[in-house]
Chain A
Amino acid sequence: MPEPASTDAGKPSAINILVVDDSAMMRTMIRRAAAATGLPIGELYEAADGQQALAVLKEHHVDALFTDINMPVMTGIELLRQIAGHERWQHMIRVIISTDGSEARKSEAGALNVRLYVEKPFRPEVMRDVLSELATVR
């Protein structure tokens, strides 16, 4: 499994991100917003459902997982359950990006070690806030 690139001391290292959403347009929007932040992003991988996401996670080093909830084949919650407790993904920061902003879903997400919960619709600037926060916890 590839290791993250080493960096000069003091410089923020680039974050590898996996974006999981069944809408390609939403993935494009997130990709574009992430690029516009100017924050150091390494690789940005994409997946259209939880099953594709697992395949990416097994192949590549990912620092942050951004996932939708309602998706075909495998939902975001099921994806998070699949990776919960696995040591190889313990380092990975989990972020939900979903139209479902209910307390019930947030509570479910919290139990699955989700760090940030972004409700759709969101302004592109929110991606800067998310990535800035992720940079502080790595």
Chain B
Amino acid sequence: MTSSQSSQPFADYQGGLLAAVTDVAENSLFTFADASDEAAFDAAAPGLGTGWVQAQIHFAGSTSGEFILTVPVVLAQRLGAAFAGADTADEIGEGELVDFTGELANMICGAWLTKACPQEAFDLAPPTVVRGSAACAVAGAGRMYLMVEDTPVRLEIAWGTRNAAGAPMEPERTDGR
């Protein structure tokens, strides 16, 4: 079964995601998030090499899919410090980095789904977090770009569900890319 992004609550999924990121940024991370674009992201990405961390969450309900958050490690460390009330980003070690990035993705995805479909409960799988480059996680996913503390961040939404073996199915293209 393949789900579609065409249902009305997700017609403006990018607006909903920006609102969710803003909500998380201001309430839990004491910082700002602004809409950005692919050009700004592509300009910054090479300079950060493999210093990226990516969290992926499968969500399931009347609509299902994958939510992927890609952030620079240095930003994730700063945000993690702000979240936990730590004095400096140095206090955020590797374990905390992975944990926090997963939880950050969880908060954004959950806030987005709650606002988009306030009546319906979604199940969120535990996040999968990997370190590496800024390469896109899922081919054909819808993407949006943000700036958080003047640092580029990318969100991806791949609409679809997993097959019987538990592997993600090839998502529908949503933005013509």
Contact with B along A26-53 (1 / 0, CB 8 A): 1011001000000000000000000000
- For B7, what are the chain A residues with a Cβ–Cβ distance below 8 Å? none
Q: Does B15 contact A (CB under 8 A)?
A: no
Q: How far is the CB of B125 from chain A (nearest CB, A)?
A: 8
Number of A-B contacts (CB under 8 A): 83
Of B85, B99, B102, B114, the residue contacting A101 (CB under 8 A) is B114
CA distance A22 to B126 in the complex (A): 8
- The interface on chain B, measured as residues whose beta carbon lies within 8 A of the other chain's beta carbons, has a size of 31
Task: Given A22-B126, A25-B99, verify A102-B27 contact (CB < 8 Å).
Answer: no
Task: Given A29-B83, A32-B85, A104-B120, verify A121-B103 contact (CB < 8 Å).
Answer: no
- For A28, what are the chain B residues with a Cβ–Cβ distance below 8 Å? 84
SS class of chain B's interface: helix, strand, loop or mixed? helix
A23 (CB) vs chain B CBs: closest residue: B103
Q: How far is the CB of B34 from chain A (nearest CB, A)?
A: 18
Of A23, A100, A119, A124, the residue contacting B99 (CB under 8 A) is A23
Pair B121/A102 contact, Cβ less than 8 Å: yes
Pair A120/B99 contact, Cβ less than 8 Å: no
Pair A104/B111 contact, Cβ less than 8 Å: no
Q: How far is the CB of A7 from chain B (nearest CB, A)?
A: 29
- For B107, what are the chain A residues with a Cβ–Cβ distance below 8 Å? 99, 120-121
Pair B27/A99 contact, Cβ less than 8 Å: no
Q: Does A11 contact B (CB under 8 A)?
A: no
Q: How far is the CB of A128 from chain B (nearest CB, A)?
A: 14
- For A29, what are the chain B residues with a Cβ–Cβ distance below 8 Å? 28, 83-85
CA distance A102 to B85 in the complex (A): 28
CA distance A15 to B123 in the complex (A): 31
A120 (CB) vs chain B CBs: closest residue: B107
- For B125, what are the chain A residues with a Cβ–Cβ distance below 8 Å? 70
Most buried by B among A99, A104, A124: A99
Q: Does A67 contact B (CB under 8 A)?
A: no
B83 (CB) vs chain A CBs: closest residue: A29
Of A99, A105, A123, the residue contacting B111 (CB under 8 A) is A99
Task: Given A29-B83, A103-B119, verify A121-B27 contact (CB < 8 Å).
Answer: yes
Q: How far is the CB of B111 from chain A (nearest CB, A)?
A: 6
- For B99, what are the chain A residues with a Cβ–Cβ distance below 8 Å? 23-25
Complex A-B, nearest 3 residue pairs according to Cβ-Cβ distance, in ascending order: A99-B110, A121-B28, A23-B103
A: residues with CB less than 8 A from B are 22-26, 28-29, 32, 70-72, 98-105, 108, 119-124
Could you list some 29 contacts between A and B, CB below 8 A? A23-B100, A23-B103, A23-B106, A24-B96, A24-B99, A25-B80, A25-B84, A25-B96, A28-B84, A32-B84, A70-B106, A71-B126, A72-B126, A99-B109, A99-B111, A100-B113, A100-B114, A101-B114, A102-B120, A103-B119, A104-B120, A105-B121, A119-B111, A121-B23, A121-B28, A121-B107, A122-B27, A122-B28, A123-B27
